[in-house]
Structure 1
Amino acid sequence: MLPSRLHTCEALILRSRDHREADRILTLLTPDLGRLDALAKGARKPASRKSGKVEPFMLVRVQLQRSKFLPFVGEVQLLNPFQGCRESLQAIVASSYACELVYNLTVEGEESDLNEEVFGSLLTVLTEVDDEPDRPNLPLCWLELHMLSAAGFEPALEFCVGCGAEARPEPWGFSVAEGGILCPDCIGAIPGGRPLPLEVFKILRFLQRSTWEQVRARRVAQPALSEARNIMREYLNHTLERPLRTTQFERRSGRGLK
């Protein structure tokens, strides 16, 4: 529900799907209202003032009008098209993955103190992909960990989920089913535990604890980062009880993100 009859706010477009002959239904992420759907009437008409401003990944300032069902989209001002996010297959896959991840870890219409943080995190990642479309793995792994934390599903990286032992700088293990790290004594005792190389563990914990500004200032080894993303992908699949569609497309196309 909109707070007033007319409400203007910034929004990132997560999805844009056709509706009837000339309309579109937009899924928006806003810093104040969180995630919501809105109807952009006539947006598919070539002469529409909304045409070219309501595509996925775009940052807009939008006027929303309260209605009985979905809010109507009034004026739309394009703030950033994030053109770099759509100029290569890898950039499109990365941006689509980020938007799908946020969609699946947020609740429509939920009032939360974290709405602004979630909006800022996605905006940060789209900005990074727009600037460096060939290297999206680091911002995506950071987003995965921060979105899981915001949604209350963060993996336990401080203590062993088996016995509660405090993490130490040595090779441990990780259990997707149990939701966190395993000490050497618990790896064999808990089904599904897998080895967690020390460098991968350090990357995961650093990304979970850090702001993006802190992450950008640090060099991260690509092989360890790739393994960290593999672990996070398995953890997300388990948490969501299914793989994200973008991940399935990436696997079928054979175009892994770097």
Structure 2
Amino acid sequence: MLHRVEGIVLRSMDYGEGNAIVTLCTENTGKVGVLVRGAKKVKSRHAALVQPFTQGLYVFFRNNSGLGTLNSGEIIDSHHAIREDLVKAAYGAYACELLDRVLHDEETGSFWFRQLSACLNALEQGKEPGVIINVFEMKILQAAGYGPQLDACVVCGEEKPDEELRISPRLGGVLCRACRHNDPPAMEVSLRTLKLLRLFAALDLTRLGNVDVKESTREELKKVMRAFMDTQLGLHLKSQSFLDQLDKYGI
């Protein structure tokens, strides 16, 4: 059967003599794998279609489920500006690997497709990459059923003054003063960080504007979101390790 889908390349791997297999996050058919014959050969007309972050129209043959074989394709947005920038590429690779690990094959992908497309567009436009990724991570947590409870205590359910709240990645939300004994290592956060986390929870990435966040708040956001991702999803991503190296060397 012939399929025509709009998709974004999550990853690409060499296969055999000059071929490549791409994993696509598609708008309507979830995550699919497509064999692109000759993609790695010199002057291949399909070479650009297998590059990371590429968004395009992919027409492929596939019988039932399993791997498809590309018939033709057309680039919508190559996102070459991301690939040419080390930091942007690192964050883009993290977003793609994270989604690849979370999204199951054939899982309906419209929401995921829109969020990833918005994430890559924001990176290419030069918006703060750490903030973009934090919003993307929040959407991942929410869609996976692990979205944090940030408006009321996760234990007693009471709404308390923000000054009394701490954040517990283990319990999945904020803790009031009376319930802190349920998780003594719960994290203290500034009011600015707490308000931004609530904004991220309510915000769709497709509506993200320019968010001005000072460096100390960015660091706090990164620490909190990393704790939630590690505790709730427990993924070990190569791209995250590379981001850690960039942080280590101040890049």
Task: Tell me if both proteins adopt one fold, taking TM over 0.5 as the criterion.
Answer: yes
Which stretch of structure 1 is more off in the superposition, 222-231 or 117-126? 222-231
Q: Which residue among 56, 63, 67 is the counterpart of 1:67?
A: 63
Aligned partner of 2:225 in structure 1 is 232
**Superposition deviation, residue 159 in structure 1:** 2.1
User: 5+ residue gaps in structure 1?
Assistant: none
Q: What pairs up with 1:1-258 in 2 under 5 angstroms?
A: 5-67=1-63, 69-110=66-107, 112=108, 115-132=109-126, 135-212=128-205, 215-216=208-209, 218-253=211-246, 254-255=248-249
**Superposition deviation, residue 62 in structure 1:** 0.5
Distance 1:59 1:214, change over 3 A: closer
Distance 1:104 1:158, change over 3 A: farther
**Superposition deviation, residue 105 in structure 1:** 2.1
Given that 2:119 and 2:136 are in contact with CA atoms closer than 8 Å, whether structure 1 keeps it comes out as yes
Aligned length: 249
Which stretch of structure 1 is more off in the superposition, 236-245 or 35-44? 236-245
**Superposition deviation, residue 128 in structure 1:** 1.1
- Distance in 1, matches of 2:16 and 2:185, equals 47
Secondary structure at 2:152 match in 1: coil
Given that 1:105 and 1:148 are in contact with CA atoms closer than 8 Å, whether structure 2 keeps it comes out as no
**Superposition deviation, residue 18 in structure 1:** 0.8
- Distance in 1, matches of 2:215 and 2:196, equals 11
Residues 105-140 of structure 1 show CA distances to partners (whole Å, capped at 9, x for unaligned) of 211112x3xx2121111111101111217x211211
Letter in 1 for 2:119: V
Given that 1:90 and 1:255 are in contact with CA atoms closer than 8 Å, whether structure 2 keeps it comes out as no
**Superposition deviation, residue 213 in structure 1:** 6.0
TM-score using structure 2 length: 0.91
Residues 16-43 of structure 1 show CA distances to partners (whole Å, capped at 9, x for unaligned) of 0111222111110011011121211221
- Distance in 2, matches of 1:214 and 1:6, equals 34
Given that 2:114 and 2:206 are in contact with CA atoms closer than 8 Å, whether structure 1 keeps it comes out as no
**Superposition deviation, residue 173 in structure 1:** 0.8
Given that 2:139 and 2:201 are in contact with CA atoms closer than 8 Å, whether structure 1 keeps it comes out as yes
Identity of aligned residues (%): 28
Letter in 1 for 2:126: E
Residues 66-113 of structure 1 show CA distances to partners (whole Å, capped at 9, x for unaligned) of 137411122011111111111221111111111112112211112x3x
Letter in 2 for 1:185: A
Letter in 2 for 1:119: F
**Superposition deviation, residue 170 in structure 1:** 2.3
Letter in 2 for 1:21: E
Distance 1:221 1:131, change over 3 A: same
Distance 1:223 1:151, change over 3 A: same
Which of the two has greater helix per residue? 2
TM-score using structure 1 length: 0.89
**RMSD value, Cα:** 2.0
